[in-house]
Structure 1
Amino acid sequence: MAKGSSMDICRIGLHNPNMTTARTKIPSYRLFGEHQDDPADFWLHCEPIPERTHLHNWEIALHRHEQFFQLFLLPQGSGEIVSQDGILAFTAPVILYIPPDAGHGFRFTRDIDGLVVTALADRLRSLTAADREIARFAEKLRIVAVAGEDGTRSAEAIERIDAELSGRSIGRSLLLEPLMTEALVALTRASRPGNGQQEQDRDLARIEALLTIVDTHFRERHPVGFYADRLGVSAAHLNRITRNASGLSIQNLIDRRTLETARRDLIFTPTPISKIAYSLGFSDPAYFNRFFRKQTGLTPGAFRDRERRRLAD
């Protein structure tokens, strides 16, 4: 799969009960402190992502925006998008596209950085009416790698939107709409597969096989080369197609699978933390503690206590 392709088919992540939430039960958020009866007399807003996410401990609950769409430019960090269709993992540099009325939430790592642009949906409708490919792109949530000419061009347009909104230059309002058009057109182009269908299918099959092998062997803490050898490709090539499809490296996939099992065991079993560490292939519980804290910001013990209190409540 070519650089810049979108991650519509990735099946990576944890099961989350929010996935099955009916659309009508997902809260619809208005933005920027508006009241429900305020007139929507603006159409574009941009802000740094850390300003909002750190207020919510880097997690944003499942919600939707009926009248807005969003672009997240993430040059740093990683995380997961929680949607009604599943959990999609991503690693920077990527651009996230959230269509109007789509249920979504976020789990970000603490090093997340970047910009979020929010715009009124009617500006999107004018673009989708003019071009069938953009309309197809805009129908669903997307994760697009910032790679190649088009991905870079979209990222630069988002940065210019932020610069125009932050300044007082002459005619800035005249530039905002063409900059948004450029960002969306370039993002649509960046999401298109660059290889032939046969190569795409082969890469997708390799990713599916990789996920199966990871599920079977993640407790053994094998190096990346073990998985590449099982699939008959080089580690560099397997990492490349995995990143293009999911935004994650092979090691990221292994770590996420390990973390998923660790979380489940900590919450739902009385197993001592040291035994959980050994069962996951860690030779030293202290190494497991460092691994878990790096991934979650909490020690295994603190995570277990917090989640059990939540269940009790």
Structure 2
Amino acid sequence: MLKFHFHKYKYGKELLVDCFKISEIAGRSISLKELHATTFYEIFLFLEGEGAIIFEGSRLDFKSPVVLLLPPARPRQWDLHTRPDCSMVIFEGEFMETFLKDHLFLHRLHYFGNYDCPPILPLQKNDVNIFQQLTDNIREEIKSQSFDSQQLLRAYLYQLLIQLNRHYTGFYQLKGNLYQNTDMLKFRDFLKKYIREKQTVKEYADLLKMNRNRLNQLCHDTFGKDAHIIIRGELLQSCKNELLGSNKTIAEISYEHNFSAPSNFVRFFKSLAKISPAAYRAEYAD
């Protein structure tokens, strides 16, 4: 699988954010058919065209005007009916997290870690100008580059991310309390770090220094589901990423994810994904 890294010194001095038209980057455009992933966050603003993105094995159709919001390290492929141009904002997580002194900030944004809703935000006509103006501001500031550009770029990007979160939570009718609920943000962070080795509600409750009932209640209030369902979903996602993004055998992936035997892994995967790991890999990784 192809992996793209952020070009920090594209403009000479280190800069961890970029904004451009897709037509400006030869060879790394949305016409790319191969399965690939990035090490950075991506925001695509389509004002024309339609198509689909195969994101972590699921086909997601979209029609402009629309915003696609893709976190790093998630396998994807494009399938566009036309070759429309679009504006794109990319950035490294530390560009915002260091500035805000909040390593959980990007976890607070529903669209970068929500497995129940797609990373797609359809736009109304009156919304387009808001996001087009913010992306234009970022693009122009990068071009002009002054001594205080880093601070202004962070301000523009912060505004863009918050506005997108407001529209996303409204469109999908999500609860907004994730933004304030530090325990649930830590839970999501712990899941990313420890899902290969910790897969029970008790283990995560212990990490959060609370009992299982409290963790279940918080998960139900915030995500509308019990903790064990969220844990199983994260485990499935981690296994999917390995199937698509590595050449490891089914047995290797099963043992790395703490399954006692490959047969148990296959049974778990089929129960949630409705397809075997081998068939999943064959269908989406070619």
Length-normalised TM-score, structure 1? 0.45
By relative contact order (CA 8 Å, sep 6+), the higher-ranking structure is: 1
TM-score normalised by length of structure 2 = 0.49
